[in-house]
Structure 1
Amino acid sequence: MRFNNRKTLRWVFACSTCSLILVATTFILPIEDIAVFQNSWVFFWIFITNTGGTIGISLLLLMFSIVLVWNKELNNKLLKVVRWFLLLSFVVGGTALVNEFLLKEQLKIYRPSILLLEKEIGLNAEFFYAQENKSRRREYLNRYLSENNITEIEIDGKKVNNNTLKVWIKEAGYSFPSGHSVSAFLLATLLGYLLIIRLTTKYKWWIILLFFWAVTIASSRVILGVHSPVDVFLGALWGSVIGYAIILSNTFKRWFSVDETPMK
């Protein structure tokens, strides 16, 4: 059994809507303490957030590229896998680059973690972001901590986990919108649609797993203190909108000559 395009789109839309509602709970749930202060959860949430980074996204794209084309009746399997991988990488990677180097650089919203360091240890957030690139900002922050002999940071009497602090140092870009959330929801939307259109309805349950992963990615950014709920919710919404725009415009067919007809 296979869905038609309209029914498939409705199913994906329902999943993404429920997922966005779950992401919206970051506005009301007190989840920041989970990884900022507690040793028992920090490694888990760092692992989750890394699956939404460049390497994690690339591995996910490769895996689903294989799933989308690996059929015993298809010839030139490797070539087709590479074709799908490059196509999806172009879409997701291009969106990530626009978000990182255009939207964020224009809006220049400071990260919650940097504002917190400004409040608690006197870091000058404006001077931090005046550094010319992320590498220089990381160097500046490490130097600031070293010169001021800051080895531990306490907030309201609770010690910030050292691994969380390492994430804060690494995440030296601007905050809004969350690139991890944009990429995760864009990927979930596109792959969810393609899995059913290209394969069969049994893959509709994979969509739930994809969007659950996207929700955990968005939540991890707030839990680790590197994004606000506004960053992740609007980032997730923006990624979903881009995904639907690509689907509805038949970009896969017109730009890349990719057949969306289900495989037999």
Structure 2
Amino acid sequence: MILRIRLLLLISFICLLILSSTFFLPYGFSVIHEGWLATFWLLISNTGGTIGVPLITILFCILISMHYKGWKSKLLVITGALVVFSLVLGVFARVNEYFIKEQLKVERPNIIFLHESMGFDSEAFYNIESKDERRAFIEDFFNGQLSQVIMFDDEPLHPKVITHWLHETGYSFPSGHSVNAFLMATLMAYIILFIYSDFRRRLFFILPFAWATLVALSRVLLGVHTALDISLGAAIGCLVAFLIISTRLIDRHLMPKSVDA
């Protein structure tokens, strides 16, 4: 177990170093204009959202079950893994969205841009409690701008980015996508290291972290989060995952008894 923890600490530290580059490099709002880059990074971002995370979770649970023999064992593992992932991710996502963010009340960078550059009333926007009503408020604002092309750095915004901004009506800090992606990635990587003993297949533990890093970066590139949002969000996700791992819940309930620890 100690070796697995060390590997996870190493790769998570590397990922956090990569994310820290967003403090110094001009990543913010860099893929919000017309073109394929906006579409690509929106796709990456959506894999860490309310649809992408459940789909990836289900797929990963199915992959876990393939390590077992017999359909009953496979079904039990899929069910157990789904319950664990759903509870952990669901509970913490709601704590972050409805408690932490609401207490800190940090405005999103895209809302700040709209306020400073286009006269959007960010104070009135955040005074609205309902997210659906906030969405209607900002949608009315965009509809009122149809007489002119919405620009950023003298280039038009991609229509899909505008649609994405319409759905990001909560507060900014910490990034929920980053928290969930790194929480999920750390748990997945630990399970991969637990299941496989050969070096070649163990290297697959890097893939969940690569995915989580891209998801976190996409949030800055799309202008909906800051470097601090994603960096601390990723760190929080890793920390929560390590706390769960330390309970040995995964070792006892999800893994085959025949696997060497």
Normalised by the length of structure 1, the TM-score is: 0.91
The residue matched to 2:169 in structure 1 has which SS?
coil
Which residue of the other structure, out of 214, 223, 234, is the alignment partner of 1:236? 234
Question: Residue 199 of structure 1 contacts residue 262 of structure 1 at CA under 8 Å; is this kept in 2?
Answer: no
Question: Residue 68 of structure 2 contacts residue 256 of structure 2 at CA under 8 Å; is this kept in 1?
Answer: no
| Aligned mates of 1:97, 1:260 — CA distance in 2 | 31
The residue matched to 1:54 in structure 2 has which SS?
coil
CA RMSD of superposed structures (Å): 1.9
The residue that corresponds to 1:35 in the other structure is: 31
Which residue of the other structure, out of 236, 241, 244, is the alignment partner of 1:246? 244
Question: Residue 128 of structure 1 contacts residue 137 of structure 1 at CA under 8 Å; is this kept in 2?
Answer: yes
* Alpha-carbon shift at residue 178 of structure 1 (Å): 0.2
* Alpha-carbon shift at residue 158 of structure 1 (Å): 2.5
Task: Give deviations 1:2-41, integer Å, cap 9, x for gaps.
Answer: xxx1111111111111111111111112123431224231
Which residue of the other structure, out of 10, 16, 26, is the alignment partner of 2:6? 10
The residue matched to 1:58 in structure 2 has which SS?
helix
The residue that corresponds to 2:129 in the other structure is: 132
**How many residues were matched structurally?**
258
| Aligned mates of 2:256, 2:242 — CA distance in 1 | 15
Query: For the structure 1 residues 248 and 56, does the alpha-carbon distance in structure 2 shift closer, same or farther, using more than 3 Å as the test?
Result: same
The residue that corresponds to 2:151 in the other structure is: 154
The residue that corresponds to 2:185 in the other structure is: 188
Larger deviation, residues 18-27 vs 193-202:
193-202
The residue that corresponds to 1:60 in the other structure is: 56
The residue that corresponds to 1:211 in the other structure is: 209
Question: Residue 23 of structure 1 contacts residue 215 of structure 1 at CA under 8 Å; is this kept in 2?
Answer: yes
Task: Give deviations 1:52-72, integer Å, cap 9, x for gaps.
Answer: 012111111111111222235
Query: For the structure 1 residues 140 and 94, does the alpha-carbon distance in structure 2 shift closer, same or farther, using more than 3 Å as the test?
Result: same
The residue that corresponds to 1:84 in the other structure is: 81
* Alpha-carbon shift at residue 259 of structure 1 (Å): 4.8
* Alpha-carbon shift at residue 75 of structure 1 (Å): 4.8
| Aligned mates of 1:144, 1:173 — CA distance in 2 | 17
Identity %: 34
Larger deviation, residues 49-58 vs 74-83:
74-83
Query: For the structure 1 residues 172 and 53, does the alpha-carbon distance in structure 2 shift closer, same or farther, using more than 3 Å as the test?
Result: same
Structure 2 unpaired stretches of 5+ = none
Structure 1 letter corresponding to 2:15: S
| Aligned mates of 1:182, 1:226 — CA distance in 2 | 15
| Aligned mates of 2:6, 2:258 — CA distance in 1 | 18
Larger deviation, residues 190-199 vs 67-76:
67-76
* Alpha-carbon shift at residue 221 of structure 1 (Å): 0.1
The residue matched to 2:172 in structure 1 has which SS?
coil
Larger deviation, residues 69-78 vs 238-247:
69-78
Query: For the structure 1 residues 10 and 125, does the alpha-carbon distance in structure 2 shift closer, same or farther, using more than 3 Å as the test?
Result: same
Question: Residue 126 of structure 2 contacts residue 134 of structure 2 at CA under 8 Å; is this kept in 1?
Answer: yes
| Aligned mates of 2:114, 2:222 — CA distance in 1 | 14
Which residue of the other structure, out of 103, 115, 118, is the alignment partner of 1:118? 115
| Aligned mates of 2:147, 2:17 — CA distance in 1 | 39
| Aligned mates of 1:233, 1:109 — CA distance in 2 | 15
The residue matched to 1:146 in structure 2 has which SS?
helix
The residue that corresponds to 1:71 in the other structure is: 67
Pair 1:100-2:100 in alignment: no
